[in-house]
Amino acid sequence: MKRIIALCLTLVLMFTLLAAPIPAHTEAEADPYYIEGGAGTTLTFWMPMNYYQSLYFQDMNEHPFFKFMEEKTGVHINFIHPAEEQAEQQLTLMVSSGNYYDLLMDAWYPGGPEAAVDDGAFLDLALYLDEYMPNYKAAATNADGSFSDWEWKPEEKELFQIKPEEPFMPVFTTVKGYVWCVGQVWNSQLEADSGPVIRKDWLDEAGLAMPETIDELEAVLEAFKQRGVIPMTIEPLGYSTSYFSNALTSAWNLDGMYASLEPDGKTVSDHLFIQPAFRDYLAKLADWYAKGYIDPDFMNADEDTNASKMLSDELGVWMNFYGDPSYYAEYYVGDQAFNMEPMPLPRLSKDQTLRWHQKYVVEPYTWITVSPTCKTPEIAAQWLDKWYLPESILRLSYGIEGETYEMADGVPMFLPEFFTDEDVPADAAVQTKLWLSSPGYYSYRSQLLQYNSGDSSTLSPMNIASQVWSQNAEPTMRVPYTLFSDDDWGEMEEYIIEVYTYAEPMILKFITGQESLDKFDEFVQTCKDLGIEEATAMWQDAVNVALELQEAAAE
């Protein structure tokens, strides 16, 4: 009897619980956008507006994404939009007064991020990552691309040769372990979008194959010279300090950046100027210049003049081209079979694997910091974390479902109307087209689809060019993103300025034959006397710190 009574009581209790109303907050808390205490909270957000944003919005609360965020989280944003030319002045006033808005966008503190946290300008977000920012942490620490696997079809990754990107968290972390910002993150390596291009129609007419080595390129330049055109143009300094170029120096395993790495991935190489291989490189350029293979006015050429020469049937090889080679065909008005195609980075030998190709480095882009004066830092941290949820990624990268994209086979695909301005709702189009470079998660796939007019089944001319420019090459020379203290950066920069002021005119003289390369040893010694080795040592110290941060993040 006791067992029967107990069973009855248990059944009564179960039915009572089942019949009881569910507390109102349970359903809300199940919403991934729920922020406890978020409803009715206002955060101030200092955010410079760029020119294009100002064309469409008086205030970013008008932007569909921020409308969506307020509706989902209950948090209202009070935007402060300084004009671009006033942003630096306003930031200086904030630093001097110590009065900060809750959120700051692209704010660089004098002395760097670590000093900003120590001085009470930036909040250390490491204290909030685990409890309040799990989505951001997952995105910024991801090292195998899995964070965004839901966005891709497997066959797309294979077609576009998608590789995982290095994690971003180390560049958002200081030596003391402060996480100083919420920054833009991508998990897939971005394609190379610069390299050499060649007039393929002239190559075909000469009966020559696409050059792959320096010797093969020299044969092509001779053929183009016989044609009566300028065979090739090079960087205005004969090398480049930009990671968008160096397509010719790479054959000699040289990088024109201020610092580059040895094959061990840890040791900073001797500077370009004092390496013996640089003499060999200059000797080749001097020889080609004397033979008439290089534009005699290369030192004054820019993108517009090179494009004009290419379209006017005057130039055969453009060594430091950036963008889509097929784009220029639309503007050709001559009477030849104009065909400008990407050319592989030339090598010294067929079996050489290059250690350089153009690659976007993992570093802070469009970052947001939280101020210690924010009265609701937990809410601010959670609000920023919501940017990394899948629905937010879709909103920022693809727009509004049913208006700009649809889900097909489990992945987002742009609607055909997205690519015709007249059929797409203005707010949806503006949201997607203006915010690819926003903070949050940068969807590389969305960019590819936009560039390919929504087609993810075939390679566009730009995709083909990207693969040509990165074939037989790995970007292992690039130093990781490094943070110098102001004093160290300033001292290093003083050495660099002294050296480059001397070296750059001399390099042009070597190439043009005004100075004999017999003076190269003297050139090297002068660079050393001016402090190039001291600058390299300071880079080594900074790289050591960056590598330590990478190791700490991996653990």
Could you report the per-residue pLDDT of 440-466, keeping only the tens digit for each?
899 999 989 988 889 999 999 999 999
Q: Check pLDDT > 60 for residue 21.
A: no
Provide the residue count of the chain: 555
Q: Check pLDDT > 60 for residue 20.
A: no
pLDDT score at 50 = 74
Count of alpha carbons within 13 angstroms of residue 117, beta-carbon side: 18
Alpha-carbon separation of residue 378 from 43, 102, 365, 370 (angstroms): 12, 12, 23, 10
pLDDT score at 548 = 86
pLDDT score at 15 = 34
Question: In the β-sheet with 194-199, what is the strand arrangement from edge to edge?
Answer: 230-233, 315-322, 194-199, 340-342
Find the mean pLDDT for residues 182-193: 93
Q: Which domains does the chain have, with CATH numbers?
A: 42-147+163-187+362-442 (3.40.190.10), 194-358+481-554 (3.40.190.10)
Secondary structure of residue 229 in the 3-state scheme:
coil
pLDDT score at 453 = 87
At 3, the pLDDT band (50, 70, 90 cuts) reads: very low
Find the mean pLDDT for residues 407-433: 72
pLDDT score at 19 = 42
Q: Give the position of tokens 């291009």.
A: 197
Contact 55, 63 (CB under 8 A): no
Which pair of tokens denotes residue 286? 């001097």
Express each pLDDT in 365-391 by its tens digit: 889 999 999 999 999 999 999 999 999
Q: Which residue has the higher pLDDT, 241 or 176?
A: 176
At 1, the pLDDT band (50, 70, 90 cuts) reads: very low
Q: Check pLDDT > 60 for residue 7.
A: no
pLDDT score at 4 = 40
pTM attached to this predicted model: 0.87
508: buried, middle or exposed (CB in 10 Å: 19+, 13-18, 0-12)?
Answer: middle
Helix, strand, coil percentages, rounded to 5, for the chain: 50, 10, 40
Contact 413, 443 (CB under 8 A): no
At 488, the pLDDT band (50, 70, 90 cuts) reads: low
H and E: helices and strands count for the chain: 21, 10
Contact 136, 384 (CB under 8 A): yes
pLDDT score at 344 = 96
Contact 453, 419 (CB under 8 A): yes
Express each pLDDT in 509-529 by its tens digit: 999 999 999 999 999 999 999
